[in-house]
Amino acid sequence: MEEEKQEGKESIEEKKKKPAAKRTRKSPAKQKEVVKVKVIFTKSKRKRSIARASAVPGSGIIRVNSMLIGTMPEEVRTEMLKGVYISDAAKQIAGGLDISVNIHGGGVSSQAQAAAGAIARVIAEVGGESMKSIMIEYDRRLIKDDPRRVEPKKFLGPKARARFQTSYR
């Protein structure tokens, strides 16, 4: 047992005595070139739904929860693409971006409205102030979140404001 410890110590001591291997730098030709791509992140809320969108330069593909937007029902799709169809400039901007939207919470309509807001914000951020003013003029809720929320139920009635019916006979 003592011999094993001594052998272990010797190997450690020997390693300390050996000179460390020199590290050489790779030549610039061998290093991988890093391409920087501008990614745009936006978010939008509607009732209990929260939509987060990310956009990168691409070929105009829009995905919602990893599904192509073309596979959505028509009513939902038209609501989500409301910001794209405002003007030809918005269509051109959206055609040059790959937009990915993640939505959670709420119902179908509020999710569609939250996604529409997130997509419109991406287009407005790329298009600048002129595109933002066009969208606000068309529908303010595309750029600004709707502050209305559901009022909590109170203990003296069936809903937030309604009270239980009283009878005297």
Give residue 146's pLDDT.
87
Q: Where are the domains of the chain?
A: 40-142
pLDDT values of the chain reduced to their tens digit, one per residue, 169 residues: 555 555 555 565 565 565 555 666 655 555 667 777 789 999 999 999 999 999 999 999 999 999 999 999 999 999 999 999 998 999 999 999 999 999 999 999 999 999 999 999 999 999 889 999 999 999 999 999 889 889 999 999 999 999 999 999 8
User: Strand 97-104 and strand 49-57: pairing?
Assistant: antiparallel
Q: Name the one residue in this structure whose structure tokens are 């020199």.
A: 22
Which residue, 61, 134, 139, 138, is CA-closest to 100? 61
Q: Does domain 40-142 have CATH number 3.30.230.10?
A: yes
Three-state DSSP class for residue 58: coil
Q: Name the one residue in this structure whose structure tokens are 């809720």.
A: 141
Give residue 19's pLDDT.
59
List of residues 6+ apart from 149 with CB closer than 8 A:
47
